[in-house]
Amino acid sequence: MIPEHIAIIMDGNSRWAQRKMLPVKLGHRSGANAIKELIKSSLEFKIKYVTIYAFSTENWSRPKEEIGDLMIILQNYLENDVNDLIKYGIKIVTSGQISELDPKIQEKIENIKEKTKNNDNMVLNVAFNYGSRAEITNAVKNISQDIVDNKIDISDINENLISQNLYNPDIPDPDLIIRTGGYNRLSNFLLWQSSYSELYFTNILWPDFKKQNLQEAIEDFNQRKRNYGAR
């Protein structure tokens, strides 16, 4: 059984570079190549939704040079890979506070979203400048404003309403969350949506994550019994 939605915390780029005595930026570039391989593998497995944790709200505390390298990698991807995404039938959406990014990057993101909006082979959700607490806080603000504007009553608040005010309410909750790099935590990623997700942790650093590793995670997922609290 193939999960409908897989979300991935891509951890380990910096440590991968350090172990090879390479600059950190080369670790991030190798991580970007691993994303391309992930996309191809996901298409082969016919996974409908893939969410990648590309840059968190906490990542701004990293060295300025490293952040600059990450932004360059993002721009290069937006400029050079759009044709492949269209060819493979991949729709790009984003989660996160994209409005806080450089206006040129925002424009390129909107451009690639527009060009791929009708694709239906797979949805790639890029969580960039994303934090789950910020997402939930934003949802609370939106709901509160609707109450102030008399659009809804406080009694209308339920789990479904909160879900509908998250960044991408049309994407189903992840069936499987994979984290590479050896740490066993979610790090402020999809906290609301992961209530009943299966979690898979691996020591493999993200640049070394291949199709075989994705298959192993899916096979492990198939050994789980998902009863959603019923037993």
**Judging by beta carbons within 10 Å of its beta carbon (0-12, 13-18, 19+), is residue 55 exposed, middle or buried?**
buried
- Cα 97 to chain center, whole Å? 13
> Which runs of consecutive H residues, i.e. helices, occur in the chain?
13-19, 24-45, 64-80, 82-87, 103-116, 132-148, 159-164, 211-221
Under 8 Å between Cβ of 209 and 34: yes
Q: Look at residue 56 and give its three-state secondary structure.
A: strand
146 is catalytic: no
128 bridge partner residues: 55
Q: Which residue is catalytic, options 59, 119, 138, 168?
A: 59
Is there a catalytic annotation at residue 11? yes
Residue in 11, 13, 129, 213 annotated catalytic? 11
Q: Which residues contact 118 (CB under 8 A, 6 or more apart)?
A: 91
Q: Cβ-count burial of 216 within 10 angstroms (0-12 exposed, 13-18 middle, 19+ buried)?
A: middle
How far is the C-alpha of 216 from the C-alpha of 223, rounded, in Å?
A: 11
How many helices (H) and strands (E) are present in the chain, helices listed first?
8, 6
Q: Which of 103, 114, 49 is nearest to 75 (CA)?
A: 103
The residues annotated as belonging to the active site are 11, 59
